[in-house]
Structure 1
Amino acid sequence: MGTADDDGVFEVYRDRVDRPLSRLFREYGLREIEWFTLGMVANVTARVASLLPPLVLGVAIDAVFVGESDYTLPLVPDAWLPTGDEAQFWFSVAVIVGSFVVTGVFTWIYGVAANVFAHRVMHDVRTDSFAKMQRLDMPFFDDKQTGEVMSVLNNDASNLEVFLDNALQNSARLGVMVLGIAAVLVYLNWQLALVTLVVIPAMVGFTLWFMRAVEPRYVAQRSSVGDLNTRLENSLGGVELVKASATEDHETEKVTAASYSYFEHTMAVLRLNYLYRPGMELLAGVAFAATFLVGGVWLFSGAPGPFTGELSVGAFVTFIFLTQRIVTPLAEVSNIVDQYENAKASSERVFGLMDVPVKITGPDDHAPLDDVAGRVEYRDVDFAYPETALAAAEGDEHGELVLSDVTFTAEPGETVALVGPTGAGKSTVCKLLLRLYDVTDGEIRLDGTDIREYALEDLRGAIGYVSQDTVLFDGTVAENIRYGRFDASHEDVVAAAKDAEAHEFIQRLPQGYDTRVGEDGVKLSGGQRQRLSIARTVLQDPEILVFDEATSAVDTETELLIQRSLERLTEDRTTFVIAHRLSTVRDADRILVLDGGEIVERGTHEALLEDGGLYATLWSVQAGEIESLPDEFLADARRRAAERPPRDGED
């Protein structure tokens, strides 16, 4: 078992889950208790009814055919029973037929009720798990393999359904059959019953050993399923890169290794099953053979050894039938244990996901955010990514600072550009505004209020975010533009597309706005995907805009068209623009130059060029005035930026 040092947050919280199947029933099973109760009652009724035919047959043999005893049934007053051989025969036939009818009807009721119960619980578990996954903080997704989460939502939820549908009810059936058969056998001949039931303690001990031995193997098997799903998802998601790099064999080797690991863990489970199930069948078979041997000798030669009394032919026949009946459910204990251990491992993973704490939340008594002016203040903001997702969940162990002492103000309606070398912290600054992460120190204020005082949905609803990594869903063009404003009319969708310079290319698609874009928009070019993302933000009509390399995947002509539309869109909105291509931000009201997580320069385009610092150097490279950026040249630019005194009004 891993420790907090080498396991992720998912594994750590999974290992902390206590009595997972009991918790599953408490939190989810009790919601559907009426279906569970109906299934359990029907199951017990059907099993009790199924015990009547062998019992009635034995009584009929002794009383009607052999004539060695009176016609009596346990728990039935003699006054209710017919007299005379013929009447007793037909009564026996009626009881046997009636018991089969009752067994069939109540088995059907049990099947329906058990399936409704199991599938409703599975539905609730899957949807609650997905809802929790949606609420988890970004560090979880930075650190967690999505294949494992998919395994929880699909494989583990299905394992729980199998357990609730089969194992839980079969356990009740097994209990009723064993106790019922034992009671009937003891009633008929308690001495011979001891021979039949003597193997039960051995079966219980064998089962307990199996459960202890197989549990860690199931945990390892479920983990290997998550690893395999992750490997498959990564390989298929990056298939274009794989083909372009001619690394098909490399990816196949990785999938083969993950698949073989799953195979090995599965075989480790099956090897125990191969030992357990035949072992249980052997013990049950020994019970049957011993019963047949002792009972047969008893009939031929009288009570053998320490046994006393008489054994009738009818009682012996009933023993043989019921002993055979007890063999099957006892042999099926392996399936029940198999499903139990599988469900236990799966429920630990489900509740491990459920128990991961969410740190980034809004207060219950949150501040109102109705009329947004758009004044954004960063005050002495420091930020460090957590060392691990577990550190984020536990609220400690931050790594090195990636942002340090970031302080600036964006007035309502201003456009603020963030530029700088790759890895300078530009995107992180804006992600903090959305509270995808929370500041390590300092604060960010919107309209004078710390953003942590607002409800998350209100804060994020006021901000339109266009990422350089465009996300599209497998739906139509119109559905993707409408995402976030699902009630928007078609006319509004078209207007947003026109503002994003997307309308013309959409009209050229096979079905226009009804064209399906494929998973992650694979049927569109990078520039087309970005324009749809911009159209989606236009349609949402937020008060604050964030464009993170929003035009990085479009050609120069399209960029100019988009820039023109963005100028209209940003005219009265506070806007943050992150750009590597400095030509797109030269008209910004203020440009912040970040380097190493710090703001090293700030000002307008013209003022920064006059300073001759880092911004001027980057501009010269992009303008082609110099061919490359030597390390010493960049260091000198940074030194000049650091030595320049602040202008009036600067922090």
Structure 2
Amino acid sequence: MSARDDETPFDAYREDVERPLSKLFREYAPGRLGWFSAGMVANFLARMASLVPPLLLGVAIDAVFVGDGAFELPLVPDAWLPTGEMAQFRFTVVVIVGSFLVVALFTWIYGVTANLFAHGVMHAVRVDCFEKMQRLDMAFFDEKQTGEVMAVLNNDTQNLEMFLDNAVMNSARLLVMVGGIAAVLFYLNWQLAVVTLFAVPAMVLFTIWFMRVVEPRYVRQRSAVGRLNTRLENAISGVGLTKATSSEGHETERVRDSSRNLFDRTMDVLKLSYLYRPGMELLAGLAFATTFLVGGLWLATDTAPGPLTGSLSVGDFVVFLFLTQRIVDPLAEVSNIVDQYENAKASSERVFGLMNIPVHVDDPADPADLGPVEGRVTYENVSFSYADTAGRRAVEGDETAFEETVIEAVSFEANPGETVAFVGPTGAGKSTILKLLLRLYDTHEGTVRIDGHDVRDVSLADLRSAVGYVSQDTFLFDGTIADNIRYGHFDADDAAVRDAAEAAQAHEFIGELSDGYDTRVGERGVKLSGGQRQRIALARAVLADPEILILDEATSAVDTKTELQIQHSIDRLTEDRTTLAIAHRLSTVKDADTILVLEAGEIVERGTHEELLAADGRYATLWAAQAGDRETAVETLVDREDSQ
């Protein structure tokens, strides 16, 4: 796999994201700091309460059971403490039970508030990512990076939620526990505390090394997740073609390659994790063993070992053993925290990388008022190339950043109520020309106008509400037929939906379905035929009642009889509106006011049907071929090639 193939649409922009997790908090924590603060306080109180039982146990052992110490607690006045042994014993039991109740209560509060904060951020990030995704240029989606976007919306936001819910709070818990335990140990016996905590600096250094080494591996792992999602999404979308061509083995192999790549990247991470986690547990275990060894010798010989001085009570030794064991778990948890941190860092870079992808087709800063649309469409010397903006940088003003020109110096005008038809071979640029009117792309050179307004000067909402678009690649959402006809005009009533369906010759077949207009069409409309889907799409355009109508081979998926029926409806629909139509079957556009013949992105002929036939050029050749005079068409083509 080459470096270019390995690159995702987010990589170039991800590299520019500085301190992504800090940015996550700056942009999404405000407004949710109440939950976050409550969780931090509850976490602190729960951890502090959990230190009370072992400390009180040590005091009780020395004062009540051994009888070799005073019943004293730090920060608690002696006057508050009982004096008799049985009273001290009962006090110890009650306080220990109360401590566990406090731990349970504040742990519950922490769990609720931490999840409200974490899931709230995740919800906001997911919605913002989806909103940004919808604003991205069509060039981005031409690269078929649906799987990458899905990885950001699902996997990456989930990683952020786990980090905010677990890693952040566990980090606070770790600091509180280590700090609190260290304070108690130093209070009881500072010399043995130094022995117990000797492993902490080594753990810190080990953690710093691990974070530096594992970070790039997490980045590669997240990219591999996106590539696998893309492969799976494409395979599922194209399952019909796969089955029709018996290519299941080929698709399985491609998924296997992507899955293996993810497996390898994941193992790169896990290999380090398998080294780091046992290493942290080993250091924590050594701290416990050293404490037991030194403290045990101290008690057994009643002499401070080595350079240590003073005495050690049985109760203090028990507290050290309890708390040293308590410190093992949070220190060992550092490995999980680091894992979640690095994973979240890589994911947040991808999230903000998506956010940072520039949108070239957007509303102007001060949009002009399109006003009541008459329907005059003008193309003035329009040229277009597919800019390489689908996730990779296109250098402004650098001609090498653009691919081969698709549209070259196209000029024409459609007056209100006129029909302009576009014909020509596949790949001539017909669909691209009309997508420029909707600003699905922006022109490279030249201007597209509606009623004299440059389409780049008006808001996208105003522009697209004035233009209806029926594509040859009809898309239906998983929902009812009525929902799909109503899409874009969601407040339309049932009568309007039915009228639109009748106008598009769709009402009859809808009535024959078991649930009529409430029939669910399935994902992408798979439960309907191609012709049925096109008639629903046409009904959607009829319901919108736009001033300008674009028909991109709107009858390409229907039989001849249905085409005639739909064409009759189209003729009525286009009577009082400007229509730009692309047709493969020339018979459907022979009555157009103007017919433009395109080849290689250029207009090579223009005129009415009769004028173009009289000119005996390319249009006449196409008409002869479709009319059945194939022999004449072939002779004409041969003569033209000989003359050239």
Structures share a fold, TM > 0.5?
Answer: yes
1:359 to 2:360 alignment: yes
Work out the CA distance in 2 between the residues paired with 1:521 and 1:265: 37
Give the Å deviation of 1:144: 4.7
State the distance in 2 between where 1:638 and 1:332 align. Answer: 81
In the TM superposition, what is the alpha-carbon distance from 1:263 to its structure 2 partner?
A: 1.3
Q: Distance in 2 between matches of 1:222 and 1:390?
A: 16
Write the letter of the residue equivalent to 2:231: R
Q: 1:341 to 1:627 in 2, by over 3 A?
A: farther
Matches within 5 A, 1:108-123: 108-123=108-123
Q: 2:638, 2:213 → 1: CA distance?
A: 62
Listed one character per residue, the Cα deviations across residues 12-58 of structure 1 (whole Å, up to 9, x for unaligned) are 00121111111111111223111100101000000000000000010
Find the residue that maps to 2:87 and give its secondary structure: helix
| Secondary structure class of the residue paired with 2:379 | strand
- Give secondary structure in 2 for the equivalent of 1:588: coil
Q: 2:570 aligns with which of 549, 566, 571?
A: 566
Determine helix, strand or coil for the equivalent of 2:404: strand
Alignment partner of 1:527 out of 519, 525, 531: 531
Structure 1 position 390, deviation (Å):
4.7
Shift of residue 252, structure 1, vs aligned partner: 1.0
> Structure 2: how far apart are the matches of 1:614 and 1:110?
76
After TM superposition, the structure 1 = structure 2 runs for residues 397-412 of structure 1, keeping only pairs within 5 Å, are 397-412=401-416
- Distance change (3 Å), C-alpha of 1:518 and 1:45: same
Aligned to 2:218: 218
Rounded to whole Å, the distance in 2 between the matches of 1:438 and 1:609 is 34
Which letter does structure 2 place at the counterpart of 1:571?
A: E
3-state SS of 2:383 partner: strand
1:614–1:638 CA contact under 8 A, matched in 2: no
Question: How far off its partner does 1:437 sit?
Answer: 0.5
Letter in 2 for 1:196: T
- CA deviations 1:408-433 (Å, max 9, x no partner) are 11000100001111111111110000
Q: Which residue of 2 aligns with 1:375?
A: 376
Q: How does 1:56-135 map to 2 (within 5 A)?
A: 56-135=56-135
Partner of 2:169: 169
Q: Please tell me the root mean square deviation across aligned C-alpha atoms, in Å.
A: 1.9
CA contact (8 A) 1:8 1:388 kept: no
CA contact (8 A) 2:482 2:497 kept: yes
Deviations 1:576-595 (A, max 9, x none): 00011111100001111111
Counterparts of residues 90-489 of structure 1 (less than 5 Å):
90-301=90-301, 302-390=303-391, 394-396=395-397, 397-489=401-493
Alpha-carbon distance in structure 1 between the residues aligned to 2:630 and 2:214: 67
Query: For the Cα contact (< 8 Å) 2:553–2:584, is it kept in 1?
Result: yes
CA contact (8 A) 1:403 1:596 kept: yes
1:24 has 2:24 as partner: yes
Unaligned runs of 5+ in 2: none
Residues 9/223 of structure 1: CA separation in 2 closer, same or farther (3 Å cut): closer
C-alpha displacement of 1:94: 1.8
2:550 to 546, 549, 555: 546
SS in structure 1 at match of 2:597: strand
Structure 1 distance, partners of 2:135, 2:623, is 41
8 Å contact 2:624–2:633 — kept in the other structure? no
Deviates more, 1:395-404 or 1:218-227: 395-404
1:40 and 1:394 map into 2 onto residues whose CA distance is 46
Instruction: State the distance in 2 between where 1:340 and 1:559 align.
Output: 59
Counterpart CA distance in 2 for 1:245 and 1:9 is 30
SS in structure 2 opposite 1:71?
A: coil
Contact 1:467 1:549 in 2 (8 A): yes
The percentage of counterpart residues that share the same residue type is 67
Give, in whole Å, the separation in 2 of the partners of 1:4 and 1:351: 21
| Cα distance in structure 1, aligned partners of 2:421 and 2:607 | 10
Partner of 2:44: 44
Work out the CA distance in 2 between the residues paired with 1:163 and 1:208.
18
Aligned residue type for 1:599: I
Deviation at 1:364, TM superposition (A): 2.8
Q: In the TM superposition, what is the alpha-carbon distance from 1:370 to its structure 2 partner?
A: 3.0
Q: What is the TM-score with the length of structure 1 in the denominator?
A: 0.96
Letter in 2 for 1:585: V
Contact 2:139 2:388 in 1 (8 A): no
- TM-aligned CA deviation for residue 634 of structure 1: 7.1
Counterparts in 2 of 1:2 and 1:344: CA distance versus 1, 3 Å = farther
Change (3 A) 1:315 1:514: same
Stretch moving more, 336-345 or 627-636: 627-636
Deviation of 1:459 after TM superposition, in Å, equals 0.2
Contact kept? 2:624, 2:632, Cα under 8 Å: no
Alpha-carbon distance in 1 for matches of 2:638, 2:427: 15
Between the aligned partners of 2:72 and 2:632, the Cα distance in structure 1 is 105
SS state of the match for residue 602, structure 1? strand
Out of 498, 515, 523, the position equivalent to 2:519 is 515
> Aligned in 2, Cα 1:466/1:207: closer, same or farther, shift over 3 Å?
same
- The alignment partner of 2:604 has SS state of strand
Quote the offset at 1:9 in angstroms.
Answer: 4.1
How far did residue 91 of structure 1 move? 1.6
Using the size of structure 2 for normalisation, the TM-score is 0.97
2:59, 2:73 within 8 Å by CA — same for their partners in 1? yes
Moved more, 14-23 or 525-534: 14-23
Once the two structures are TM-superposed, the CA of residue 637 in structure 1 deviates from its matched residue by: 8.2
Asked if structure 2 preserves the Cα contact closer than 8 Å seen for 1:594 and 1:601, the reply is yes
Q: Which residue of 2 aligns with 1:644?
A: none
For residues 227-256 of structure 1, what are the alpha-carbon distances to aligned partners after superposition, in whole Å with 9 as ceiling and x for unaligned?
111111111111111111111111111111
- Corresponding position of 2:54: 54
Question: Matches of 1:351 and 1:582 in 2, distance apart?
Answer: 49
Q: Which amino acid aligns with 1:470?
A: T
Distance 2:625 2:554 in 1: 21
How far 1:220 sits from its partner (Å)? 1.2
C-alpha separation in 2, matches of 1:599 and 1:285? 80
1:7 deviation in Å?
Answer: 3.8
Supply the distance in 2 between the matched residues of 1:17 and 1:394 (Cα, whole angstroms).
Answer: 19
In the alignment, is the contact (CA less than 8 A) between 1:613 and 1:637 conserved in 2?
no
- How big is the shift at 1:638? 12
Please report how far the alpha carbon of residue 399 of structure 1 lies from its aligned counterpart in structure 2 after TM superposition: 2.1
Contact 1:391 1:398 in 2 (8 A): no
Segments of 5+ residues of structure 1 without an aligned counterpart are 641-651
Higher mean C-alpha displacement, 401-410 vs 608-617: 401-410
Within the candidate set 596, 605, 608, 1:604 is matched to: 608
Shift of 1:136: 0.3
Distance 1:108 1:163 in 2: 19
Letter in 1 for 2:549: L
Contact 1:356 1:393 in 2 (8 A): no
Secondary structure of 1:389's counterpart equals coil
Q: Which moved more, 1:422-431 or 1:258-267?
A: 258-267
Q: Whole-Å Cα distance in 2 between the matches of residues 477 and 154 of structure 1?
A: 29
The code of the aligned residue for 1:127 comes to: V
Residues in 2 aligned to 1:483 and 1:638: alpha-carbon distance in whole angstroms: 52
Which range moves more in the overlay, 160-169 or 267-276? 267-276
Amino acid at match of 1:276: Y
Find the aligned partners of 1:232 and 1:331 in 2 and give their Cα distance: 37
2:389, 2:83 → 1: CA distance? 82
Instruction: Flag the 1:238–1:3 CA change in 2: closer, same or farther, 3 A.
Output: closer
Cα offset, 1:395, TM superposition: 4.0
Deviation at 1:630, TM superposition (A): 5.6
Structure 1 counterpart of 2:133, one-letter code: M
Shift in alpha-carbon separation, 1:392–1:424, aligned structure 2, 3 A:
farther
How many residues get paired? 640
Displacement of 1:636: 2.3
